[in-house]
Amino acid sequence: MMPGDVRAALSLARSLGLDRLDAQLLLAASLKQNRAWLISHDDAPLAPALAATLVEQMTQRAAGMPLAYLLGEQEFHGLLLTVTPDTLVPRADTETLVDWALELLVPMAGTPSLVDLGTGSGAIALAIKAGHPAAIVSAVDLSPAALTVAQGNAHRLGLDVAFMQGNWWQPLLGRRFDIIVSNPPYIAGGDPHLPALQHEPIGALSPGGDGLSDLLLLIEGAPAHLTKGGWLLLEHGYDQAPAVAEALSVRGFVDLGLRRDLGGQPRVSAGRWPS
């Protein structure tokens, strides 16, 4: 049965087990109103076509579809980004990586260069460019579809980031950067949380195995693409910090550091290439 008004739609959402906030956000987006309007207009009628779309969206959300995909957007580090199922949904914990990169950029003179590997929606690269406009920012992704989303976000936000398609270092032959950042796939193939993320691109979430393969590949290849004294910053799983630190040390990085996410978990490791 299709909901005839706002109150009925919220009741349907509740019966499906949806969070009230999620239901309100879906309704507000469909009606192009804010949540306060919904509360004071719970008897507002819903057109049949809109009601049918809402039922479909609520059913998808109840099945685990990320809210950001249904709304088509996600806020990240103060930027409103378009997201699609071709990209990961940017997480607040990844802002830890952005904040650290911005701190490192501050004392760098002139126009420091930075590249974001595995950019997805462009969230990291765009947030860094917005926070430090003097930086020359590049971004790489293997997925042409993800790059289309990232380029659209850059254009809409008026941020000058150079996007390249390719597998990790492949498009960067002969190029060096002051900072390299990446949020690569790092979830272990057997992680019990992986099935809950089935709606997001699996290749951007997990490399399989113990989840370390892409992290180790980035650590191995980074020195050929860093300036002397340049930094490599990597997001990783909460239990991967020791392995990442060891790999950085063995490869020759110095001044190793670790930052924790909003939940207090080890989330970003970094090292400096000796000068």
pLDDT of residue 83 exceeding 80, the answer is: yes
pLDDT of residue 63 exceeding 70, the answer is: yes
Rg for the chain, CA atoms, rounded? 21
Alpha-helical regions (H) of the chain:
6-15, 20-31, 35-40, 48-62, 67-71, 95-105, 123-131, 144-157, 213-221, 241-251
Contact between 74 and 37 (Cβ < 8 Å): no
**Which pTM does this prediction carry?**
0.92
Half-sphere exposure of 177 (CA within 13 A, CB side): 25
> Among 70-84, 184-198, 230-244, where is mean pLDDT lowest?
184-198
Determine the pLDDT at residue 147: 98
pLDDT category of residue 1 using cuts at 50, 70 and 90:
low
CA–CA gap between residue 256 and residue 271 (Å, rounded): 4
DSSP 264: S
CA–CA gap between residue 182 and residue 139 (Å, rounded): 10
pLDDT in tens, 194-242: 888 888 898 899 899 999 999 999 999 999 999 999 999 999 999 999 9
Determine the pLDDT at residue 6: 84
